[in-house]
Amino acid sequence: MNKTVLITGATSGLGYDYVKLFANDGYNLILVARNKEKMQQIKETYSHLNVTVIQKDLSIGGAAKEVYEEIKQQGAHIDVLVNNAGFGLMGEFDKLDLQEQVNMIQLNVTALTELTHYFLPMMKERNSGRILNVASTAAFQPGPLMAVYYATKAYVLSFSEALVEELSGSAVTISTLCPGATKTNFGSVASVEGTKMFSRAMESDLVAKEGYAGLMSGKRVIITGSVNKLGALTAKFLPRSIVAKVAKYVAGEK
Ligand SMILES: NC(=O)c1ccc[n+]([C@@H]2O[C@H](COP(=O)([O-])OP(=O)(O)OC[C@H]3O[C@@H](n4cnc5c(N)ncnc54)[C@H](OP(=O)(O)O)[C@@H]3O)[C@@H](O)[C@H]2O)c1
């Protein structure tokens, strides 16, 4: 029987790259995002696979539970969960819309936590399963001008690494993907395309492939690209006040 992967944010960027990688390996797909038309197109493209489309806005409270209920009703097993949906916003914290920032926390943090909570027990019961939580290199330092976004990604990394320890001795794996700037729709949604940090953005398919390999080998934290690996390492050893200044500098215009 084919394995099944649930991918949130499957309609563009990294999520869509994951759709292609998993489909290539014969996985049945459960797609979750808002853009139903795009998900229907994916379903048609992979008509040889079992593709389920769940149109859901995960920034709305209770949406993750509805996803879980729908899958439970279908009696589907989830072998791999890819918590990928997320977005960022650039600007001074107090000037950005509060509700949009709360929605970001709901999507990047709460929905990811809830989906992990719903699907982890069945993986533990079968002693098999993999979870990929998409964080960012933003997880390694405070991010002036993207304060809430960086904080959400720090949460994702901390939460996921804690679960790795809880799961030691189990065959269930949790991996955290930490990409740096990557060419997807993220840049235009977050309004960061013209910034220094985006001047050397990586190709999204390369980032997804590195993440896929890390996930399949059960790697704990996957930082994509050698410059990003070096940046994350440097951030560990410098005072937080200095790395915050660097983060503010790279968030500025090119
Ligand atoms: N690109 C980068 O530079 C970068 C760097 C580090 C980390 N990341 C992380 O990578 C992940 C994927 O982002 P991306 O770069 O691939 O960006 P993207 O191209 O904008 O894709 C974001 C995906 O999330 C979905 N999504 C957004 N809001 C949603 C909502 N409210 N409910 C359900 N789905 C929603 C979108 O689908 P719909 O619009 O159809 O809902 C889309 O499929 C995010 O967690 C992001 O923080 C990105």
User: What ligand 1 atom has the least distance to the C-alpha of 17?
Assistant: 16
For 105-163, the pLDDT digits (tens) are 999 999 999 999 999 999 999 999 999 999 999 999 999 999 999 999 999 999 999 99
Amino acid (1-letter code) at residue 146? M
Mapped to the 3 state alphabet, what secondary structure does the chain carry?
CCCEEEEECCCCHHHHHHHHHHHHCCCEEEEEECCHHHHHHHHHHCCCCCEEEEECCCCCCCHHHHHHHHHHHHCCCCCEEEECCCCCCCCCCCCCCHHHHHHHHHHHHHHHHHHHHHHHHHHHHHCCEEEEEECCHHHHCCCCCCHHHHHHHHHHHHHHHHHHHHCCCCCEEEEEEECCCEECCHHHHHCCCCEHHHCCCEEHHHHHHHHHHHHHCCCCEEECCHHHHHHHHHHHHCCHHHHHHHHHHHCCEC
Q: Are 245 and 200 in contact (CB under 8 A)?
A: no
| CA–CA gap between residue 145 and residue 196 (Å, rounded) | 13
pLDDT of 254: 83
Is the CB of residue 181 below 6 angstroms from any atom belonging to ligand 1? Answer: yes
Residue with tokens 């939580």: 133
Question: What pLDDT score does 253 carry?
Answer: 86
Q: Which pLDDT belongs to residue 125?
A: 96
User: Among 78-82, 97-101, 196-200, 202-206, which is the least confidently predicted range?
Assistant: 196-200
Q: Is the CB of 113 under 6 A from ligand 1?
A: no
Instruction: Give residue limits of the domains in the chain.
Output: 4-250
pLDDT band at 1 (very low <50, low <70, confident <90, very high): confident
Work out the number of other CB atoms within 10 angstroms of the CB of residue 196. 14
How far does residue 169's CA lie from ligand 1's centre (Å)? 32
Query: Distance between CA atoms of 89 and 104, rounded to whole angstroms?
Result: 9
Ligand 1 atom nearest 39 alpha carbon: 40
pLDDT tens-digit map of 171-209: 999 999 999 999 999 999 999 999 999 998 999 999 999
- The tens digit of pLDDT for each residue in 220-252 reads 999 999 999 999 999 999 999 999 999 999 998
CATH number of 4-250: 3.40.50.720
Check if 150 has its Cβ closer than 6 Å to any atom of ligand 1.
Answer: no
Confidence at residue 127, expressed as pLDDT on a 0 to 100 scale: 96
- Report the separation in Å between the CA atom of 148 and the middle of ligand 1, taken as the mean of its atom positions: 15
Average pLDDT of the residues in 159-169: 97
The predicted-structure confidence for 7-39, as pLDDT tens digits, reads as follows 999 999 999 999 999 999 999 999 999 999 999
Instruction: Spell out the residues 6+ positions from residue 80 whose beta carbon is closer than 8 angstroms to its own.
Output: 3, 4, 5, 6, 22, 27, 129, 130, 131, 132, 215
Place of tokens 């990929």: 132
In angstroms, the CA 126 to CA 111 distance is: 23
Cα separation, 230 vs 200, whole angstroms: 15
Query: What integer pLDDT is reported at residue 219 of this predicted model?
Result: 98
> Whole-angstrom Cα distance, residue 15 to residue 240?
31
| Closest by Cα among 248, 254, 152, 238 to 201 | 254
Q: Does 86 sit in the ligand 1 pocket, CB within 6 Å? A: yes
Question: How far apart are alpha carbons 3 and 79 in whole angstroms?
Answer: 6
